[in-house]
């Protein structure tokens, strides 16, 4: 059998302006996810580690290192903390890139549950490295991508909720993503740069679009979202917008307030 994949590449043109992904049936009978890149095709497993390997008989290097950390902590209750050296961090990074390619492919294939699973796993990776990396530069190397992955996770979770008309739950997910990105900025003393954070702006705009879409969100949740927008408008000295938001909050407050019975006077 020829090992030349030229015919496969010819049948699937590469488009630099869009992400091209597909799901195919493998020779083993299981589905695989493929991502077209400029120099070829990446093929990944749907579940487990994308390349299908099991390092040290664990699902991934992250699972292996988490198990090592747990064993270490149990056997060294009063000792120095568990630490990841440079080689271990770089091994986790290379593995994380595999998951990045896969969750991007899942997103474009509208496989939202799988995308949410892999982005949640990536956020756990960042938190693990943040806690255990030996060097600060490795913590930052991973954690700089936290806003992007947080945004992708929020979108992967909230999109199917919106498709199912569960607007309240979707807005709560979006708000949680916004708060998580704001927490990231606080962690690095960059709160004043919130207006420059593309991921934060993207989620805020999406929340506004959902609120304006006419879908049935509860007045209570609308008020919560509007109050957050009001705080942002005041901080940005957008006083006309702040006044408009106050009026809208007041109007919704009247809807929420229960009507008084004559006997209550």
Choose from 13-27, 147-161, 199-213, 251-265 the range with maximum mean pLDDT. 147-161
Tell me the CA end-to-end span of the chain in Å, nearest whole number. Answer: 89
- The ranges assigned to domains in the chain are 218-256
User: How confident is the model at residue 259, as a pLDDT?
Assistant: 44
CA separation for the pair 212, 250 (Å, rounded):
17
pLDDT of 121-169, one tens digit each?
Answer: 999 999 999 999 999 999 999 999 999 999 999 999 999 999 998 988 9
The candidate with the shortest Cα–Cα distance to 35, out of 43, 27, 26, is 43
Q: Mind listing the pLDDT tens digit for each residue in 69-127?
A: 999 999 999 999 999 999 999 999 999 999 999 999 999 999 999 999 999 999 999 99
Q: Using 50, 70 and 90 to split pLDDT, how confident is the model at 170?
A: very high
46-68: buried (b, 16+ CB within 10 Å) or exposed (e) per residue? Answer: eeebbeeeebeeeebbbbbbbeb
Going edge to edge, which strands form the sheet with 40-45? 20-25, 31-37, 40-45
Packing angle between helix 219-235 and helix 239-256, nearest 10 degrees? 160
What mean pLDDT value characterizes the chain? Answer: 90
The pLDDT tens digits of the residues spanning 9-23 come to: 999 999 999 999 999
Q: Is the pLDDT of residue 35 over 60?
A: yes
From the number of C-beta atoms within 10 Å of its C-beta (0-12, 13-18, 19+), residue 208 rates as middle
Percent residues over pLDDT 70 in the chain: 92
Give pTM, 2 decimals: 0.82
- d(Cα 154, Cα 47) in Å, to the nearest integer? 21
More confident residue, 229 or 138: 138
Average of per-residue pLDDT across 239-265: 69
φ, ψ of residue 24 in degrees (nearest 5)? -125, 160
Q: Which residue has the higher pLDDT, 118 or 239?
A: 118
Query: What is the pLDDT at residue 192?
Result: 87
Alpha-carbon distance of 235 to 192, in angstroms, equals 9
Nearest to 173 by CA among 212, 110, 120: 120
- In this prediction, residue 216 has a pLDDT band, given cuts at 50, 70 and 90, of low
| Predicted pLDDT of residue 238 | 82
Average pLDDT estimate for 196-201:
95
Q: Name the nearest CA neighbour of 165 among 102, 205, 99, 218.
A: 218
The distance of Cα 22 from the centroid of its chain, to the nearest Å, equals: 21
At 214, is the pLDDT very low, low, confident or very high (cuts 50, 70, 90)? Answer: low
Name the pLDDT band for 265 (thresholds 50, 70, 90). very low
């Amino acid at each position: 059998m020829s090992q030349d994949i030229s015919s496969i590449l010819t049948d699937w043109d590469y488009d630099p302006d869009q992400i091209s992904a597909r799901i195919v049936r493998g020779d083993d009978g299981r589905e695989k996810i493929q991502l077209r890149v400029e120099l070829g095709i990446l093929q990944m497993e749907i579940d487990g580690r994308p390349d299908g390997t099991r390092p040290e008989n664990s699902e991934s290097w992250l699972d292996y290192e988490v198990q090592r950390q747990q064993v270490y902590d149990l056997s060294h209750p009063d000792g120095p903390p568990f630490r990841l050296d440079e080689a271990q961090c770089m091994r986790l990074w290379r593995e994380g890139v595999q998951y990045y390619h896969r969750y991007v492919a899942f997103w474009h294939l509208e496989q939202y549950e799988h995308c949410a699973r892999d982005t949640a796993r990536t956020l756990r990776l960042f938190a693990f490295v943040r806690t255990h990396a030996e060097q600060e530069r490795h913590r930052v190397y991973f954690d700089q991508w936290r806003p992007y992955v947080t945004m992708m996770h929020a979108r992967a979770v909230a999109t199917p909720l919106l498709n199912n008309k569960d607007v309240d739950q979707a807005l709560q997910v979006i708000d949680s993503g916004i708060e998580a990105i704001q927490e990231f900025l606080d962690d690095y003393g960059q709160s004043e740069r919130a207006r420059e954070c593309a991921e934060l702006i993207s989620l805020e705009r999406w929340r506004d679009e959902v609120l304006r879409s006419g879908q049935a969100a509860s007045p209570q949740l609308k008020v919560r979202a509007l109050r957050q927008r009001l705080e942002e408008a005041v901080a940005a000295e957008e006083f006309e917008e702040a006044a408009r938001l106050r009026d809208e909050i007041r109007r919704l407050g009247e809807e929420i307030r229960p009507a008084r019975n004559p006997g209550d006077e």
